[in-house]
Amino acid sequence: MLTEKSLSSYSISMTIPPNNHPQRPKIGLALSGASGRAIAHIGILEVFRENNIPIDYISACSSGCVVAASFACGTMDKLKEDWLKLERKTLLDFFMLDKTSNGIFDLEKFGQWVAAYTNGKRLEEVAPRLGFVSADIVSGVPVLLSLGDIAKAAQASCAVPGLFRPVDWGGMRLVDGGLYNIVPTTQAKEMGADIVIGVDIAATRYMFSNKWYPIKKTYDALRNSLPARAYMKVHRAIDKILVSATRAQADTDPGVFALLDRALEITIANAEKYKGVISGYDLLLEPNVKHLGKISFKNSLMMLEEGRRIAMGALPKIRKLIDSKTL
C-alpha cells in the first residue's frame, strides 16, 4: 500500500490531462477587535454571503473572534439577532470577579456565551478555517490558535491583561492578541490565503493606546532608580526569612500589575518596531465606526449597516482581485 511518504519517491508513468478549469485564489479575512463595534463584521460577512464572495480563512482578534466563530458554525444570524438586543448591563454580567491575583475578572461566563454559537465544534472542524490570534504573556510571542475549543480560544484572544485573567493553553499563558496588531492580516496570509482582506474597526493599532507609553516609561525609570532597587533588595531579603514556602510558590505566578507591566512592555516594543503599520493585506476595509463607543450598544444597528455599506462598495475591487489571481 502506498503512503503519502512513499509517493514522493514513487514514479508513475501516465499522461496527466491538462487542467481546463480555472482555480480561484484562496481568500482570507482578517477581523480586528473593538468590543461592541464587532457587529460591523456581521454586516460585512452578510454582504459577502449574499454576493457569493467565498471565504476560506478567517483570522480574528479579540471580539472579532466571536463573529468569526458564529459565521463558521452557521449561527451568525442568531448572533446578529441577539447582539441587536444587547445592553451594557448584559456585557457587564459576563464579568465575574477573578479568584486569583492574575486579573480583576475572569471570562468564564463570556466563554459560555460564545459556546452557545459554536454548536460544540472545534477550530479544526469548521469552514472557513479559523485562526484566533493571542499572545503568550510569558514569552512575549504571538500565538495563532487553529486547533482546539473555539470558545476557549476566543476567551484567550479577548483576555485583556490587567483586566482579565490569562487563559492557560498548552503550557502558555495567553492574553489578547491586540498586544501585537489588532488587525491580524499577516496571520491570514500564514494560514494559506492568496488574497487577504483586512477589516479595521479599532481606534488604535494596538490594544493599549500610546497615551500609556509615557506612564510605562516613567514607571520603569522609577523602578530602576537607586532607592527603588535598594528597597526591593531589602524586601526580598526579608521575604526569604519570614515568608512560607506557599508564598514562594505564589511569587512564580505574577500578579495583575506584573502582567499589565509585561503587556505594556510587549506593546511598546511592537509599536516601536512596526510603527503601527498594518501590512500583509490586499484590501483594507475601514467602516466608519471608530468614533463610536466600544461598549455602547445603542449604535449597534448603525454599525451593522455601516459594515454592509463598506462591503457593498468593496465588491468590485474584491471581484477584480479574484479575477487577477485566478489561475
Rounded to an integer, the average pLDDT of 160-174 is: 89
What percent of the chain is predicted at pLDDT more than 90?
Answer: 50
What pLDDT is attached to residue 147? 96
Pair 62, 69: CB distance under 8 Å: no
Q: Which pLDDT tens digit goes with each residue over 282-306?
A: 999 999 998 887 777 889 999 999 9
**Residue 212 — very low, low, confident or very high, per pLDDT cuts 50/70/90?**
very low
Q: Indicate the pLDDT class of residue 235, thresholds 50, 70 and 90.
A: very low
Name the E strands within the chain: 27-31, 57-61, 96-97, 105-106, 129-136, 141-145, 167-169, 172-176, 195-199, 283-285
Q: What's the pLDDT at 218?
A: 54
Mean pLDDT, range 178-185, rounded to an integer:
86
pLDDT band for position 86 (50/70/90)? Answer: confident
Q: For residue 309, what pLDDT is reported?
A: 98
Q: Is the pLDDT of residue 50 over 60?
A: yes
Which three cell numbers mark 196?
Answer: 487577504
- pLDDT tens readout for residues 30-48: 999 888 899 999 999 999 9
Q: What integer is the mean pLDDT of 155-168?
A: 89
pLDDT at position 177: 86
User: For residue 118, which of 151, 154, 160, 161 has the smallest C-alpha distance?
Assistant: 151
So what's the pLDDT on residue 6? 38
Q: What whole-number distance in Å separates Cα of residue 56 and Cα of residue 173?
A: 29
| pLDDT, position 71 | 98
Q: Work out the mean pLDDT of the chain and round it to a whole number.
A: 81
Higher pLDDT: 94 or 111? It is 111
Please report which confidence band the pLDDT of residue 63 belongs to, taking 50, 70 and 90 as the band edges: very high
Q: What is the DSSP string of 200-243?
A: ---SSSSSS-TTHHHHHHHHHHHHTSHHHHHHHHHHHHHHHHH-
276 Ramachandran zone, left/alpha/beta (phi>0; psi -120 to 50):
left
65-75: average pLDDT: 97
Cell of residue 101, nine digits: 491575583
User: Which DSSP state fits 188?
Assistant: H
Answer whether 194's CB lies under 8 Å from 27's CB: yes
User: Residue 299: CB partners within 8 Å, gap ≥ 6?
Assistant: 289, 292, 293
Pairing outcome for strands 57-61 and 283-285: unpaired
Say if CB 29 and CB 41 are below 8 A apart. no
Crossing angle of helices 76-83 and 39-50, rounded to 10°:
140
Q: Summarize the confidence of residues 75-102 as an average pLDDT.
A: 81
Cβ atoms 102, 163 nearer than 8 A: no
The phi and psi torsions of 154 (rounded to 5 degrees) equal -65, -40
